[in-house]
């Protein structure tokens, strides 16, 4: 029996699920599973789309590594089920997960705490999308409020594109968000830990073909450049890391997450875009890339994330 068997017990790696990001989740989950096994962890694959979550308790699982992305995995629903089952899990708790998946609610909290995020308008029709374009200016981003991986996202430059952009986003979520487009450097920042001990990993600057960091360029091409060290001035990187830690703590996140930020090319003002509380762990994923830049291997990263598995209410019988 390895040290990790004694420390973690039987571990379920939750992967797949029923969201639009199922394909990516399966890739993440398989990577995590193999990494944990390589470290002597008694880890097993578990797909909630194919098995009832109640089986976790029946099968004697002691912890869960959540490698699910999007709805029914990153939105507080699985977290709530695991709270009821009394099985500690990786990542943020019920409330933080449910807020973070909703870009509108996330922005409202960040704005309430005077944290910079691009101007936005929720819309419920193509006509409202056209009105938002007038208010927010061109170009404008239209996206589902509760999806990830740029699924359903469009960059709109004219009123004639609004109908199609709204229809695409609404096809993924009844709640659609129009957002001011920030032109400049795109960076992403991984956070590990909780509360006062949470820390940022190095920034990664993303340079996508024609500035189009879409689903295909995220996961299935090799043309996007990921720069770490990011090449930003040291003081600017440190300031963005402090901003990201505030954004993480405001939402009550724990364990780990990844925050996406745009830096205005003209003013160098960073703007918080969104936060992912169960980030990707594929071969193209950015948290492992940032960890590697600090000397942390992929398996070591997985073990650290698993080490922070917990419950919102650990003292409840």
CB 312 within 8 A of CB 93: yes
Place of tokens 């398989």: 30
In contact, 177 and 122? CB cutoff 8 Å? yes
Sequence-ordered strand ranges (E) for the chain: 11-14, 43-46, 63-66, 120-123, 140-144, 154-156, 176-180, 184-192, 199-200, 204-207, 225-227, 256-264, 270-276
Buried b / exposed e along 4-43 (16+ C-beta atoms within 10 A): beeebeebbbbbbbbbbbbbbbbbbbbbbbebbeebbbbb
Catalytic residue numbers read 21, 149, 219, 258, 260, 274, 276, 280
Closest of 248, 238, 208 to residue 226, by C-alpha = 208
Gap between the Cα atoms of 281 and 155, Å rounded: 27
| Contact residues for 260 (Cβ-Cβ < 8 A; gap 6+) | 186, 187, 188, 272, 273, 274, 275, 276
Tell me, what DSSP letter sits at residue 89?
B
| Cis amide leading into 139 (omega within 30) | yes
Query: Which of 205, 200, 170, 182 minimizes the C-alpha distance to 136?
Result: 182
Distance between CA atoms of 115 and 212, rounded to whole angstroms? 26
Alpha helices in 154-285 (DSSP H): 162-170, 215-219, 234-250
Closest alpha carbon to 26 in 9, 10, 49: 49
């Amino acid at each position: 029996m390895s040290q990790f068997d004694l420390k973690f017990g039987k571990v379920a790696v939750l992967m797949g699920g029923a969201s639009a990001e199922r394909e990516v989740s399966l890739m993440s989950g398989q990577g995590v599973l193999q990494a944990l096994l390589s470290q002597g962890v008694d880890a097993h694959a578990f797909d909630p789309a194919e098995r009832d979550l109640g089986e976790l308790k029946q099968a004697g699982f002691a912890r869960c590594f959540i490698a699910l992305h999007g709805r029914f995995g990153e939105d507080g629903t699985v977290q709530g089920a695991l709270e009821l089952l009394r099985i500690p899990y990786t990542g943020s708790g019920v409330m933080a997960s449910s807020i973070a998946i909703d870009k509108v609610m996330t922005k409202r909290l960040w704005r309430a705490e005077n944290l910079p995020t691009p101007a936005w308008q929720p819309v419920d029709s193509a006509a409202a999308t056209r009105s938002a374009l007038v208010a927010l200016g061109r170009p404008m981003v239209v996206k589902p409020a509760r999806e990830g991986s740029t699924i359903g996202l469009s960059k709109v430059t004219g009123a004639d594109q609004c109908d199609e952009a709204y229809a695409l986003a609404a096809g993924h979520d009844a709640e659609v968000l129009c957002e001011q487009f920030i032109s400049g450097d795109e960076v992403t920042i991984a956070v590990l830990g909780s509360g006062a001990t949470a820390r940022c990993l190095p920034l990664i600057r993303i340079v996508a073909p024609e500035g189009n960091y879409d689903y295909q360029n995220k996961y299935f091409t090799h043309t996007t450049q990921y720069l770490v060290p990011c090449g930003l001035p040291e003081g600017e990187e440190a300031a963005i890391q402090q901003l990201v830690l505030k954004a993480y703590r405001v939402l009550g996140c724990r364990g780990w997450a990844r925050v996406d930020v745009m830096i205005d090319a003209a003013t160098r003002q960073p703007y918080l875009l969104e936060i992912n509380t169960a980030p990707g762990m594929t071969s193209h994923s950015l948290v492992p890339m940032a960890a590697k830049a600090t000397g942390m291997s992929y398996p070591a990263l997985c073990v650290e994330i698993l080490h922070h598995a917990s419950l919102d209410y650990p003292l409840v019988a």
